[in-house]
Amino acid sequence: MKFKADRTAVPYSYLIDNIKVLLIFLVVFNHIIAFNLVKVDMVVRYIWYGITIFHMPAFVFISGYLSKKPQNVLKNVKNLLIPYILGYSLTWYSQIWLGRTVDYEILRPTGTVMWYVLALFAYRLTIEAMGKIRFIVPLSIIFALWAGTRPEFTTFLSASRIVVFFPFFAAGYLWKSEYITAVRKFKGKWVLVPISAVLLWAIPNYMITNGMGIAIFRANHRYQLCGLTDQEGIVIRLLMYLVSFIVIYTFLALMPDIKLPLTYIGRHTMGIYLFHYPIMIIMNGLYLLRLPQLTNVWALLGVSLVFILVLGSLPVDWLYTGVINIIAFILFKTDKTVRDEGLEEEYDSDENKYEILRQRRKAIEELAATLEPDKDHVGSADPEVEGTQETTEKNEGSSRVAGYEMDIEEDNLDDVSEEPLKEEERELTLEELMEELEAATRKERKPDSPPQMISDTKLWKHRFPGLFLLFRKSTPMAFYH
C-alpha cells in the first residue's frame, strides 16, 4: 500500500487513524448523551461511566505516541495554544449567545473540552526532558495518586487533569512501533476483550450502586470534592489506570490496520474536537436534544456519526486550518531569527568565567613562548645547529611577533631585583600586551601601505589562536570589518 510506504519514517499508520476515529466518535457520543439521556436511561448511564473511564486516557496515549519528534515551541503555539484560545472563546460565546451569564476564565477551562489541548501543549513542551527520567510512568502514577489528596491541584490551568493524565502521555511517548507488532502477534490477544468488558461493567456498577459520581474520572478536583475519601479515590483512580491501559492495548492489538471508509477522519480530529461542543451547547439551549426523536441512544449514535462526518470533512478542515494560519500570520513575524549580539557573555556563569581565565592564561603563555629565545638552540652540539650559529647570532636581539620581525632592546637587568620584576610582570594586563603587539605591527608596516587589518588578523589567528579568541571577545565586531 503506497500510503503506508510513504510514511514508514513516522510512527503512524492506518491503525492509528482507525483508533483516532473510534475515540473521537466516543468523545462526541459521550458528550451528547451527557446533556439529558444519562439522567433518564440507566443503561446509557452505565455506558457513560464505562466510556469516560478510558476514552480520554486513550486519546492522550495516542497523542504521546505521535509526539516523538523534537518539539518546536512556535509550532505548538500555532497548533495547540491558538486552537485552545479559539475553542474556549467559541464555547464561552455559545453560552453568551443563549443569554447566559458566564465569566470568561480562559485560565480555568471548566465547562469546556479544551483542557485536553492545553494539557497537550504542556506535555509536548516537557516530554523530551521528562521522558528521560527512569520509571517515569509508575512515578507519575504515584504522583497523580498523591495529587488527588492535595487542594493545590485544581482547575486552574487544568493542573489537576494535566497531572492525572500525564502517565498515559508518557507511556505513549515511550511506546515503540515494535511493541505494536509484538502485541498484534500475540496469540492470546483476544482474551483482552472479555477482560476489558468485565472491568468496564464492574467498575461502573460498583460506583453507581454506591452513589459515586463520575467526577473522579474527569480528574478536575481532589478526591474529597468528588464525594470520595482519599482511600476510595486512590483505589478508583488506580482502577482507572488499570482499565485504561488494558483497553488501549486491546485497541492496539485488535483494531484493523487497513484503510477503511472513515479512516481519513483520523487526520482531521482537531476540528471535530474544537467545534462539536459549542454546537451541542447551542442545540441543547434550543431544546433540540430534548426532542422525543433524540431521546434514545440509537438516534444519538446517528447524530454523533453525522457530527464526525461533517466536522471531519475536508471543507471544515480547510476552514479550521485557514483560520489558524491567518491568526498565526498576524501574530508571528516571517523572519523569526534574532541576531546574536554576544550580550549573554555579560552574564556568564562561574564555570564560563573560569574558562575565560583559562583561555587568557593560555594566550599569555603562547605570547610569552613566542617572545622567549629558543633555549634548545643554545649550546647545541649538533653540526646543523653549528652551521646555523652564524644566522642565530645575526638575528640575536630580534624576534618575530605576529609574523613580523622586531628589534628587542637588550637592557641590563642585573641590577633589578627579582621581586619587583615578578610584580611588574604580574601587573601586565592583556590589554597592554595587545597594545604592544599592535604598536610593533604598525612599526614594521611600510608607511605608505594601506591598512591590512584583515590580513593581520589572519596572521594573529594563525599564530596565536588563544590570544586571538580573547581579543575578539573583548573587541567590537566593527573592528574586523
- Report pLDDT digits (tens) over 374-425: 544 444 445 444 444 444 444 444 444 444 444 444 444 444 454 544 444 5
Per-residue pLDDT at 141:
98
Question: Does the pLDDT of residue 339 top 70, yes or no?
Answer: no
The per-residue pLDDT for range 25-79, each reduced to its tens digit, is 999 999 999 999 998 899 999 999 999 999 999 999 999 999 999 999 999 999 9
- Binning pLDDT at 50, 70 and 90, where does residue 13 land? confident
- Specify whether the CB–CB gap between 23 and 54 falls below 8 A: no
Per-residue pLDDT at 226:
93
Per-residue pLDDT at 354:
66
**Cα separations in angstroms, 310 against 12, 251, 272, 316:** 24, 25, 9, 7
Question: Does the pLDDT of residue 12 top 90, yes or no?
Answer: no
Per-residue pLDDT at 333:
82
- Binning pLDDT at 50, 70 and 90, where does residue 10 land? very low
Helices 230-254, 14-35: crossing angle, 10 deg rounding = 140
Per-residue pLDDT at 403:
45
Lowest model confidence (mean pLDDT) among 88-92, 315-319, 396-400, 473-477: 396-400
Residues 6+ away with beta carbon under 8 Å from 438:
none
Mean pLDDT (whole number) for 439-443:
65
Amino acid symbol at 227: G
Question: Does the pLDDT of residue 116 top 80, yes or no?
Answer: yes
Question: Does the pLDDT of residue 112 top 70, yes or no?
Answer: yes
- Specify whether the CB–CB gap between 167 and 59 falls below 8 A: no
Cell 469546556, residue? 112
- Binning pLDDT at 50, 70 and 90, where does residue 464 land? low
Distance CA 298, CA 295 (A): 9
Q: Which has the closest alpha carbon to 393: 371, 404, 410, 378?
A: 378
The per-residue pLDDT for range 301-327, each reduced to its tens digit, is 999 999 999 999 999 999 999 999 999
Distance CA 8, CA 201 (A): 38
CA angle 114, 136, 119 (to 5 degrees): 10
Q: Which has the closest alpha carbon to 31: 12, 44, 16, 17?
A: 44
CB count in 10 Å sphere of residue 408: 13
Set of cell numbers at residue 427: 601587573
Per-residue pLDDT at 356:
72
Question: Does the pLDDT of residue 477 top 90, yes or no?
Answer: no
- Binning pLDDT at 50, 70 and 90, where does residue 365 land? confident
- Binning pLDDT at 50, 70 and 90, where does residue 194 land? very high
Q: Which has the closest alpha carbon to 363: 214, 473, 251?
A: 473
**Beta partners for 405?**
400
Lowest model confidence (mean pLDDT) among 240-254, 392-406, 428-442: 392-406
Per-residue pLDDT at 362:
81
Question: DSSP readout, 385-423?
Answer: HHHTHHHHHHTTTEEEETTEEEE------TTS-HHHHHH
Per-residue pLDDT at 393:
47
**In which element (H, E) is residue 271 found?**
helix 269-285
- Binning pLDDT at 50, 70 and 90, where does residue 364 land? confident
Burial class (CB in 10 A: 0-12, 13-18, 19+), 362: middle
**Cα separations in angstroms, 423 against 371, 417, 419, 426:** 19, 11, 6, 5
Per-residue pLDDT at 4:
42
CA angle 175, 269, 144 (to 5 degrees): 45
Question: Does the pLDDT of residue 143 top 50, yes or no?
Answer: yes
Q: The whole model's pTM is what?
A: 0.70
- Binning pLDDT at 50, 70 and 90, where does residue 191 land? very high
Q: Is 304 left (phi over 0), alpha (psi -120 to 50) or beta?
A: alpha
The per-residue pLDDT for range 157-175, each reduced to its tens digit, is 999 999 999 999 999 999 9
- Specify whether the CB–CB gap between 16 and 1 falls below 8 A: no
Distance CA 238, CA 199 (A): 13
406 against 350, higher pLDDT? 350
- Specify whether the CB–CB gap between 406 and 440 falls below 8 A: yes
Distance CA 102, CA 100 (A): 6
The per-residue pLDDT for range 270-279, each reduced to its tens digit, is 999 999 999 9
Residues 6+ away with beta carbon under 8 Å from 453:
479, 480
